[in-house]
Amino acid sequence: MKLLMIEDNKSVSEMMQMFFKKEDWDAHFAYDGIQAVKMFKETPNDWDMITLDLNLPGMDGMQVSAEIRKLSPTVPIIMLTARDSESDQVLGLEMGADDYVTKPFSPITLIARIKALDRRAKLGSNKAATDDAAASTAPVTEAEESAEDNRFEVTTDNFRLNSKTREAYLNGEQIKDLTPKEFDLLKTLATKPRQVFSREQLLQLVWDYEYYGDERTVDAHIKKLRQKIEKVGPQIIQTVWGVGYKFDDTGAGK
């Protein structure tokens, strides 16, 4: 793995360098935002993982994330910050981060989160490659292609979801601007309506974190997902206090 750690605290970088070396990862370091963007621009397709501190000199982490996303919409980004408020988490996710780890953090925990995010990124890439290969060897008619594109895995009286087109509709209106993680979260919940999922279960199912997850990552994504749902209709993601979240659209009809 070729990893870029953007971190202005050299003590933290030096500590993580030992752990990266143990994993046999090709780790590079940038100590301010301007340097980080310059390094990434030189070889934007070569990086497998970015860890990004929020508080950076020169250019802050939010700006760096936005610049990286202009060049690569898919490179995994884990944002590291001493801030722990929900609004900062949501903002970091909005700016393109895939995950959020608050300082102080355990190096072992960060390594586990990096491995989990890398594993999911590779699974997605391999699936896309397999689908492309299948498509190239098995020609389909326009009618078949259209039927496949229009197939909804989840269909209720009020809600529809299509994994191939990555689209979700509530009362006939599309829930727009869903990030990959928001879509995966919505799909996980909607596939089993009214079943309650704990935060730990959602971390494992959506982020692939079994033991090292930060539950606030789930809460931040749920908050943004709800905001986007409410733009088109009633709230269908319900909180079950003390347990977790569930999908329930039984009262969502117009």
Structure tokens at 225: 């997902």
Answer whether 245's CB lies under 8 Å from 229's CB. no
Mean pLDDT for the stretch of residues 65-79: 88
Percent of the chain's residues with pLDDT above 90: 48
Residue 6 zone, left/alpha/beta (φ > 0; ψ -120 to 50; rest): beta
Residues 209 and 116 sit within 8 Å (Cβ to Cβ): yes
Residues 180/75, Cβ–Cβ less than 8 Å? no
Other beta carbons less than 10 A from residue 48's beta carbon: 16
Helix H or strand E segment including 240: strand 237-240
Determine the pLDDT at residue 147.
46
SS percent in the chain: helix, strand, coil, step 5? 45, 20, 35
Q: How confident is the model at residue 86 (pLDDT cuts 50, 70, 90)?
A: low
Label residue 172 left, alpha or beta by phi (over 0 means left) and psi (-120 to 50 means alpha): left
Per DSSP bridges, beta strands 2-6 and 26-30 are parallel
Residue 186 confidence (pLDDT) above 90: yes
Q: Would the pLDDT of 97 be above 70?
A: yes
> In whole angstroms, what is the distance from residue 184 CA to residue 181 CA?
5
Identity of the amino acid at 67: E
pLDDT score at 152: 82
* Closest to 165 in 3D by CA, of 184, 148, 140, 141: 148
